[in-house]
A and B are shown apart, each in its own frame.
Chain A
Amino acid sequence: MRNRKLKVESLAFSVSVLIFGLFAFCLTSGVLAAQMESNQFKIQMPNLNFSSGSPSSTNFKLGFTAGQTGPGVYTSTGFIVRAGFWYLKTIIPFSFSVSPTTIDFGTLTANNPVTQTITLTVSAGGAGGYEVTAQENKPLTSSASNTIPDTTCDASDCDEANAATWSQDTTYGFGYTMHGNDVPTPFPTAGPAGNLYKQFADRSLNEIPEAVMSSGQVGRSRSSTTTLKVNISGTQSAGTYQNIITFIATPRY
């Protein structure tokens, strides 16, 4: 009789545990990943790992630290690691897009300028500003080592640092103009880009990469259009001309 009672109690306990377990599972399974967004922002990877206040140890002291996607903030004897920007407290990654990455100029003919565009997009939501620089590895060069030189514009007054007017079809060379967000002066914010052109900084001449986008503000999807222009003279040697332009996106420190 006593054994039977014990068995009934044990069964009731097991059933209770099972029901409670199922209930707990149902309750918790729906809230594993919270959606975190507002009109102003959306946290793309909602696995925040913030600490707050001013944690300290006998040797070290630090203030607020932003979260990170990997391991938590390291605090132990011998090192402190802080990921992200102190004052931004977001885990929005730093993003950079270039499209297209191959720019074909087709068959070039004398006194017929060809233009093609590249779109640059930067999201620096989790960084305190950013800069994009550009530099060519060399002027447009053929396999026979002939070059289409970088343009000096209509009045021979533009270079990698200064823009000037290039509107005449009898002015030859390779250069670029821009419009869009955070572009340097004198390029306009709104399109069209206009006729002010610059040369790309030339790595083969040890020229320092020039800024093509720059901002001290937190921004998302900041976009600019770079228009490349090539024009050749009738004396330009036949051949296919190529070079590489490197865009470097860096968050500010």
Chain B
Amino acid sequence: MRIQSLRLKTLRFCLFTLLFVAKPVYSQTYSLSIWPPLLEVLIQPGRTITQVYRLSNAGDDQILTAKILPFEPKDELGNINLVNLPKLLNPLSFSFQGGDVSLGKPFILKSGESKDLVLKLVSPVKTPERDFYVSLIFETNPETRVGLSQTQAAAKIVSNLLITVSIDGQPQKQARIIEFSAPKIVDSFDPVPFTLKVENTNTAFFKPFGEIKIEGIFSQKGKIKIVPENILAGSTRNLQIAPWKEKFILGPFRATVSFTLDETEEKLSLETNFVALPYKATLALIIVLLIFQALRNLPQKMTGISSRQPDLNNLEAPKQKLEKSGPT
């Protein structure tokens, strides 16, 4: 009987604790990772593909929603603007195959959990031959709490898909070089920076495959490989070019950029010239020489001043003269 009473008391205490003392737990850390961050697809109309996305949660438990939205290039650096018009992706259709995750429906990803999500892309027979730029987004759904002045941080992690729909698998690729330049005069000891802007003038994205060849008048040569970054249809990309680093370069140089659009025969090339001079070292040398000259002049001036100082021995002579002459 006593034991039963004790059990009842314990149960009451637990219920009281749960109801009145325990506070709701809110997620404080969002930490998601996704692979792959980029997917490139070349697909015929009437085909279907699937791709596995691995989503991992290194933070607190999260309620996530997966979405598909089109995107457009935001700038010349490869950043994107999400466009809230899913209709732009018609007639392509996307869904998750198998599992318990659906596009647009919240799902729970527990702390430390990883999910392999199979994204299915259907390209119907009547899909037009063009590019579709798509973002797969996983977003949190923050809950507001009553009674506190606060800001809730929501987070979205994005993975991009570049989809080219082509019947023969060989979409036309056209481009032009908007700018290829280097500073007209560079210092002989400094790396040479290059700017290369390429505009995609057709309807399929491509990567430039090629290099910059540099030749100087004194047989100095160099090569820089172009990073094959994607240039989307109708957009311009300022390609990241590693500066050309040599220990010392001198004289006029000619730099020639040439690349193909993907691995096609279409090739673009352009030249630019620059002159390498050791102007910083020359300037430093001139300053050193000037300082040296100034220092060299300084002792002479000092000597000049000392020569004008009265000779104490000679001062004695007039004194003696005066003594000899005596008072008049």
State the A residues within 8 Å of B (CB): 45, 54, 59-63, 66, 68-71, 74, 78-87, 91-108, 116, 118, 121, 123-124, 126-129, 131, 136, 140, 208, 211, 214, 216, 228, 230, 240-253
Cβ contacts under 8 Å, A59 to chain B: 168-170
In the A-B complex, the 7 residue pairs with the closest CB atoms: A70-B52, A252-B78, A95-B33, A94-B37, A93-B35, A97-B31, A251-B37
Within 8 A of A (CB), among B137-177: 139-140, 142, 144-160, 162, 168-170
Choose from A60, A240, A252 the contact partner of B149 (Cβ within 8 Å): A240
> How distant is the Cα of A100 from the Cα of B28 in the complex, in angstroms?
5
Stretch touching chain A among B225-233, B267-275, B286-294 = B225-233
Q: Nearest residue in B to A80 (C-beta to C-beta)?
A: B42
Q: Nearest residue in A to B229 (C-beta to C-beta)?
A: A128
> How distant is the Cα of A246 from the Cα of B154 in the complex, in angstroms?
4
Do the beta carbons of B26 and A94 come within 8 Å of each other? no
Cβ contacts under 8 Å, B28 to chain A: 99-102
Choose from A84, A97, A102, A240 the contact partner of B59 (Cβ within 8 Å): A97
Q: Nearest residue in A to B123 (C-beta to C-beta)?
A: A79
Cβ contacts under 8 Å, B49 to chain A: 74, 79, 81
Stretch touching chain A among B9-17, B79-87, B210-218 = B79-87
Q: A59-B170, A107-B149, A244-B154 are known contacts; what are 17 more A-B pairs with Cβ within 8 Å? A: A69-B54, A70-B54, A78-B43, A79-B49, A80-B43, A95-B34, A96-B32, A98-B31, A99-B28, A101-B26, A102-B28, A106-B148, A242-B148, A244-B144, A249-B157, A252-B78, A253-B232
Cβ contacts under 8 Å, B47 to chain A: 78-79
Do the beta carbons of A103 and B153 come within 8 Å of each other? yes
Choose from B29, B44, B155 the contact partner of A246 (Cβ within 8 Å): B155
Give A112 Cβ to nearest chain B Cβ, in Å: 13
Cβ contacts under 8 Å, A66 to chain B: 36
Do the beta carbons of B29 and A68 come within 8 Å of each other? no
Give B297 Cβ to nearest chain A Cβ, in Å: 45
Give A94 Cβ to nearest chain B Cβ, in Å: 4
Do the beta carbons of A68 and B149 come within 8 Å of each other? no
Q: Nearest residue in A to B27 (C-beta to C-beta)?
A: A101
Do the beta carbons of B150 and A127 come within 8 Å of each other? no
Cβ contacts under 8 Å, B209 to chain A: 63
Query: Is B285's beta carbon under 8 Å from chain A?
Result: no
Do the beta carbons of B32 and A95 come within 8 Å of each other? yes
Give B94 Cβ to nearest chain A Cβ, in Å: 14
Do the beta carbons of B152 and A242 come within 8 Å of each other? yes
Q: Nearest residue in A to B164 (C-beta to C-beta)?
A: A80
Cβ contacts under 8 Å, B35 to chain A: 45, 68-69, 83-84, 91-94, 126
Do the beta carbons of A94 and B157 come within 8 Å of each other? yes
Give A242 Cβ to nearest chain B Cβ, in Å: 5
Cβ contacts under 8 Å, B240 to chain A: 216
23 residue pairs A–B, Cβ–Cβ below 8 Å:
A70-B54, A78-B47, A80-B42, A82-B40, A84-B37, A86-B207, A87-B227, A95-B33, A98-B153, A101-B27, A101-B154, A103-B150, A103-B153, A104-B148, A105-B148, A216-B240, A242-B150, A242-B151, A249-B157, A251-B159, A251-B160, A253-B38, A253-B232
> How distant is the Cα of A177 from the Cα of B162 in the complex, in angstroms?
35
Choose from A100, A107, A121 the contact partner of B153 (Cβ within 8 Å): A100
Known: A59-B168, A70-B52, A97-B30. A118 touches B149 (CB 8 A): no
Give A31 Cβ to nearest chain B Cβ, in Å: 23
Cβ contacts under 8 Å, B150 to chain A: 102-105, 240, 242
> How distant is the Cα of A78 from the Cα of B58 in the complex, in angstroms?
37
Most chain A CB within a 10 A radius of its CB, from B37, B148, B156, B232: B37
Query: Is B266's beta carbon under 8 Å from chain A?
Result: no
Cβ contacts under 8 Å, B79 to chain A: 131, 211, 214, 250, 252
Most chain B CB within a 10 A radius of its CB, from A131, A211, A241: A131
Q: Nearest residue in B to A81 (C-beta to C-beta)?
A: B41
> How distant is the Cα of A211 from the Cα of B74 in the complex, in angstroms?
11
Do the beta carbons of B33 and A83 come within 8 Å of each other? no
Q: Nearest residue in B to A217 (C-beta to C-beta)?
A: B240
Give A63 Cβ to nearest chain B Cβ, in Å: 6
Query: Is B113's beta carbon under 8 Å from chain A?
Result: no
Do the beta carbons of B154 and A247 come within 8 Å of each other? yes
Known: A101-B140, A140-B149, A250-B79. A96 touches B157 (CB 8 A): yes
Choose from B29, B146, B228 the contact partner of A86 (Cβ within 8 Å): B228
> How distant is the Cα of A96 from the Cα of B263 in the complex, in angstroms?
34
Known: A80-B41, A83-B36, A91-B35. A250 touches B228 (CB 8 A): no
